[in-house]
Structure 1
């Protein structure tokens, strides 16, 4: 395989996914290759080039393996396109029926591309297609063979240059992993005003556990937690604490969050909602952790990893802290991550 030859897969997911489910799919894909780009709401692109040697599979077989994992773990049917760049891979996926994969080898890209209608190219809308059609240009091969000056007179310089490159199957864009979240937030709105300190304790404990799950899913750690409590009269209180060391370990997060709750001294306050926010995020691989000779710490982290695997396979409520399960389940809507930052261009 040539060093410069890339193998890009584009997968269409034939399922209506919420934000959390889509995030699970991205995480699953990241276990195959680190070069994964989200194409919301129902597609994902992977650069398989660096993963082929690791799995010792052909590009086509690796795509089939990926599709089987999606089906086995999440019950998601998909169709796929495999080609040398992102544009061709997406077009090949569009041409694939559910459960099928269309592979466009680099040496046959022009042969596959040229007979297709011009509307199959990304960026060709009705107006542009109608303009080209008036001059008898209905297929991509006709655009590829057209002199650049002629195409410029029809469409203008900028659009003509881009269309000519696409008609020849060129797309230099790399597969770019999504930018990491700037912060993560989990919130809980109670069904009714809560005066019970024990229930308030369980609520914050559950949010801390959810933040831990989100951090581990994002492969990040947090250095600061902020707890906001909203009351029945629409007022609120906020407390922030910097952690002794960045962490994604739910017990450590729970201890800090409960400390924030205790510092508020709520007494008989009528609480309507809680929000827990994790800031100061950094990649988990770059974080340092104080070594411990306590074997219970390693056992707790191993159990946590096993619980995360169970949640990915059976859903977010498959494993929950014992204290949280005693809370009213009807009061627990799904907490959500909020990402702040420039979205990845697709």
Structure 2
């Protein structure tokens, strides 16, 4: 009589799953979905964009929380198998980093049930052979382990050559900023919108995408999420063009502020055609500027450049995990 019946909402599950995968695709073009709520992300070479492995994991967790409201567990490792085991090591809301050099030792004390593919029938057989831990399997003769012996022996020794296969193509690329203090002035909202537009533009160009739609999201101090979107006359991938579309959408929010979250997303994505005819309306100087900034950030990190107009009155910039203090405010073109 006290049973609580929860009706499954598969449409909602799918919606959240898509948001999760799209968020992961913001970090890497190679996302392999394992289930609705689990995926591999290839982050090789992304250190200059997102920092060392632990910082990468922290940023992914934060981005997923902001996009979906959910806490996730992240495992960072040099192979798919070790990353999967690491992601389940400290649930819920965990972050486990296993360096390649220590992966075999980290796996060793874990039970054999943590071997990928060791199910209810296999585990008792391993126990019967006196193999209780992954370390036991690593030291065993692979020939003793049956038809899957080579597979289990390789995993136990932290060997897993399988690459991450791209199974998810982002439907949108977004950037939301949760603010320390609410904002209501148009110029303050546009400042945060500009930062989002720049980030989204960089991600679009890095992935070879163009967007045919732009969405602006604003969250009020009462946690009401408001959204306005528009389709574009031509596909774009420049931060300046994204900002212009976002600014036009701001006019449609009225006086709903103040706001504590400002965000933007580019949607209806398509692969950019590198051989396409030049667009008569494209600002070639703006493209050269933004692609030059891309190159500099790729070489020296995301904090190497910033817009002068992003400096606050105090002369302090806070963004992309970088704090830079200036003695005086710098004015001039961005």
TM-score (norm 1): 0.51
Aligned to 2:269: 281
Aligned to 1:108: none
Kindly indicate whether the alpha-carbon contact (under 8 Å) linking 2:137 and 2:152 is maintained by their aligned counterparts in 1: no
Q: How does 1:177-192 map to 2 (within 5 A)?
A: 177=166, 179-192=168-181
Tell me the distance in 1 between the aligned counterparts of 2:195 and 2:44: 34
Kindly indicate whether the alpha-carbon contact (under 8 Å) linking 1:205 and 1:258 is maintained by their aligned counterparts in 2: no
| 1:223 Cα offset (Å) | 1.5
Return 5+ residue gaps in structure 2 as ranges.
1-42, 61-73, 81-98, 106-111, 322-334
Q: Compared with structure 1, are the counterparts of its residues 293 and 249 closer, same or farther at alpha carbon in structure 2 (3 Å cutoff)?
A: closer
Tell me the distance in 2 between the aligned counterparts of 1:43 and 1:168: 14
Aligned to 1:310: 296
Q: Compared with structure 1, are the counterparts of its residues 321 and 243 closer, same or farther at alpha carbon in structure 2 (3 Å cutoff)?
A: farther
- Calculate the aligned-residue CA RMSD, in Å: 4.7
Return 5+ residue gaps in structure 1 as ranges.
1-9, 23-38, 46-77, 81-92, 97-118, 152-159, 336-346
Secondary structure (helix, strand or coil) at the match of 1:210 reads: helix
Tell me the distance in 2 between the aligned counterparts of 1:183 and 1:320: 25
Q: Once superposed, which parts of structure 1, at least 4 consecutive aligned residues long, lie more than 6 Å away? A: 10-14, 138-142, 168-172, 327-331
Secondary structure (helix, strand or coil) at the match of 2:252 reads: helix
Tell me the distance in 1 between the aligned counterparts of 2:76 and 2:154: 28
Q: How many residues align?
A: 228
| 1:141 Cα offset (Å) | 9.7
- Out of 224, 232, 241, the residue aligned to residue 252 of structure 1 is 241
Secondary structure (helix, strand or coil) at the match of 1:17 reads: helix
- Out of 252, 259, 267, the residue aligned to residue 271 of structure 1 is 259
Tell me the distance in 1 between the aligned counterparts of 2:281 and 2:218: 37
Secondary structure (helix, strand or coil) at the match of 1:291 reads: coil
| 1:331 Cα offset (Å) | 8.2
| 1:174 Cα offset (Å) | 5.7
- Out of 65, 78, 87, the residue aligned to residue 43 of structure 1 is 78
